[in-house]
């Protein structure tokens, strides 16, 4: 049946175009090349099932493309194009893989600032949808995506094949990068980091850009040659971002429970204050963080940054050499 007359294909296209219109209305996808990628890459092929509602990890909340109930199939298709993250893989009650919110993906891809002919390494394959968008923009040969979990990479290869894209899909430790396909002009992570892995810098060309979730924010690092090897520095975007952690590296202290002792509830629940606590880790106790928070007039994410140089990495407020700097672990 012709895709123009196939009821399912027509419905999927309408949902996809509606998703893109919503993303554009929200201020993203100003680049025609990225808009074309989101218009043409079918997200539903990458989420043949996912968990919805209050039943994440429970079969009652599983929506499936081949559900015998036509009503549930319709819910699945509409949900596949909703501007929301989708839980796609649960193990022992823990979320280990998801398909990110499309509007956030669009903003991240635009901030990556790719150019024709550049090579990109994606850390965290997920469903494969982000790799497909990159491959649509740059070509299959320019894109490498890596994930630690062989079940995730195997499923992503199937999804990518169904969508007609064939970037390199590697099963391995993303914290180590993937030297055989480097050097890279861009590295993008779709998992939260506890620190920035040094192997990424070593596999980047000078002038490369790294974009990664960190402490409920998104850090954009610019790589350059320093007197003692590669170094990198950059600021956070103002955008909040919540991703599953990068596996293979130790997690930083979670911001919950006793970490908020002595902090007024309305501040402890503030997203930007919790970002500050997550970014500084054990370097600041809650009262020190509260004092800084008030003194600096509730700083937003964009006032913070990260520097990697001379074997050290640290987070900072306003100025890498200023009075407010906190060491990060180094791997």
Q: Is the peptide bond before 190 cis (omega within 30 degrees of 0)?
A: no
Higher pLDDT, 60 or 289: 289
Higher pLDDT, 144 or 2: 144
pLDDT band at 253 (very low <50, low <70, confident <90, very high): very low
Is 163 a domain residue?
yes
21-26 contact pairs (CB < 8 A, 24+): 22/83, 22/103, 23/83, 23/102, 23/103, 23/106, 26/83, 26/103
CA dist 274 and 268 (Å) reads 7
Q: What is the pLDDT of residue 329?
A: 78
Query: Which residues are identified as catalytic?
Result: 97
Is 246 a domain residue?
no
> Do 303 and 160 sit in the same domain of this protein?
no
Percentage helix, strand, coil for the chain under 3-state DSSP, each rounded to 5: 40, 25, 35
Residues 6+ apart with CB under 8 A from 161: none
> Do 299 and 201 sit in the same domain of this protein?
no
- If you average pLDDT over each of 86-90, 235-239, 246-250, which comes out highest? 235-239
Is 1 a domain residue?
no
- For residue 159, give the nearest of 135, 188, 123 by alpha carbon: 135
Q: How far is CA 272 from CA 254, 277, 301, 315, 317, in A?
A: 15, 9, 7, 15, 13
Average pLDDT for 241-258: 64
Residue where one domain finishes, among candidates 235, 267, 298: 235
Average pLDDT for 309-315: 95
Q: How far is CA 46 from CA 84, 87, 100, 166, 238, in A?
A: 14, 12, 11, 14, 29
What are φ and ψ of residue 306, in 5° steps? -135, 140
Average pLDDT for 153-180: 97
Neighbours of 84 (CB within 10 A): 13
Q: What is the pLDDT of residue 220?
A: 98
Q: What is the pLDDT of residue 196?
A: 95
Q: What is the pLDDT of residue 100?
A: 94
Average pLDDT for 321-328: 93
Domain that holds residue 265: 257-327
- For residue 237, give the nearest of 258, 206, 214, 257 by alpha carbon: 214
> Do 261 and 229 sit in the same domain of this protein?
no
**For residue 77, how far is the Cα from the chain centroid?**
23
Q: What is the pLDDT of residue 95?
A: 85
DSSP label at 220? E
Is 248 a domain residue?
no
Q: What is the domain count for the chain?
A: 2
Q: What is the pLDDT of residue 2?
A: 56
Q: What is the pLDDT of residue 57?
A: 52
> Do 158 and 73 sit in the same domain of this protein?
yes
251 pLDDT above the threshold of 70: no
The position carrying tokens 């294909």 is 9
pTM: 0.93
Is 249 a domain residue?
no
In the chain, alpha helices (H) = 7-25, 32-40, 70-80, 102-112, 129-138, 150-163, 198-202, 265-268, 271-280, 286-295
Q: What is the pLDDT of residue 109?
A: 98
Q: What is the pLDDT of residue 228?
A: 85
299 pLDDT above the threshold of 50: yes
CA dist 184 and 168 (Å) reads 14
Average pLDDT taken over every residue of the chain? 91
CA angle (243, 283, 233) in 5-degree steps: 60
> Do 27 and 77 sit in the same domain of this protein?
yes
Give the lowest-confidence range in 31-45, 81-95, 306-320: 81-95
Is 240 a domain residue?
no
The CA dihedral of 9, 13, 19, 22, to the nearest 10 degrees, is -150
Higher pLDDT, 162 or 330: 162
Average pLDDT for 159-188: 97
Is 161 a domain residue?
yes
CA dist 246 and 117 (Å) reads 28
> Do 261 and 231 sit in the same domain of this protein?
no
38 pLDDT above the threshold of 80: yes
> Do 33 and 168 sit in the same domain of this protein?
yes
> Do 221 and 262 sit in the same domain of this protein?
no
Give tens-digit pLDDT for 174-230. 999 999 999 999 999 999 998 999 999 999 999 999 999 999 999 999 999 988 899
> Do 231 and 307 sit in the same domain of this protein?
no
325 pLDDT above the threshold of 80: yes
Q: What is the pLDDT of residue 188?
A: 98
> Do 222 and 268 sit in the same domain of this protein?
no
Q: What is the pLDDT of residue 257?
A: 43
Is 313 a domain residue?
yes
Q: What is the pLDDT of residue 61?
A: 78
């Amino acid at each position: 049946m012709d895709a123009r007359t196939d009821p399912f294909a027509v419905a999927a296209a309408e949902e996809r175009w509606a998703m893109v219109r919503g993303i554009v209305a929200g201020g993203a996808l100003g680049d025609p090349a990225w808009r074309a990628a989101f218009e043409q890459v079918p997200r539903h092929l990458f989420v043949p099932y996912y968990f919805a509602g209050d039943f994440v990890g429970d079969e009652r909340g599983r929506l499936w493309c081949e559900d015998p109930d036509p009503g549930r199939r319709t819910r699945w298709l509409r949900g596949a194009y909703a501007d929301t993250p989708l839980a796609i893989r649960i193990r022992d009650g823990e979320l280990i893989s998801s398909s990110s919110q499309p509007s956030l993906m669009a903003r991240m891809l635009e901030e990556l600032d790719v150019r024709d002919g550049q090579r990109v390494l994606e850390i965290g394959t997920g469903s494969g949808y982000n790799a497909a968008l990159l491959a649509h923009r740059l070509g299959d040969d320019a894109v490498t995506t890596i994930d630690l979990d062989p079940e995730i990479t195997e499923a992503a290869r199937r999804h990518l094949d169904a969508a007609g894209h064939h970037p390199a899909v590697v099963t391995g430790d993303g914290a180590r990068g993937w030297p055989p396909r480097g050097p890279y002009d861009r590295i993008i992570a779709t998992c939260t980091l506890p620190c920035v892995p040094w192997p990424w810098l070593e596999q980047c060309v000078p002038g490369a850009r790294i974009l990664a979730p960190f402490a409920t924010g998104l850090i954009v690092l610019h790589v350059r040659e320093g007197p003692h090897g590669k170094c990198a520095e950059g600021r956070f975007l103002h955008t909040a971002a919540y991703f599953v952690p990068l596996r293979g590296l130790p997690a930083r202290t979670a911001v919950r429970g006793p970490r908020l002792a002595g902090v007024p509830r309305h501040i402890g629940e503030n997203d930007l204050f919790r970002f500050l606590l997550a970014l500084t880790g054990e370097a600041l106790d809650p009262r020190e963080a509260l004092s800084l928070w008030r003194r600096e007039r509730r700083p937003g994410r964009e006032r913070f940054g990260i520097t990697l140089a001379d074997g050290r990495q640290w987070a900072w407020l306003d100025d890498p050499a200023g009075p407010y700097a906190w060491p990060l672990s180094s791997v």
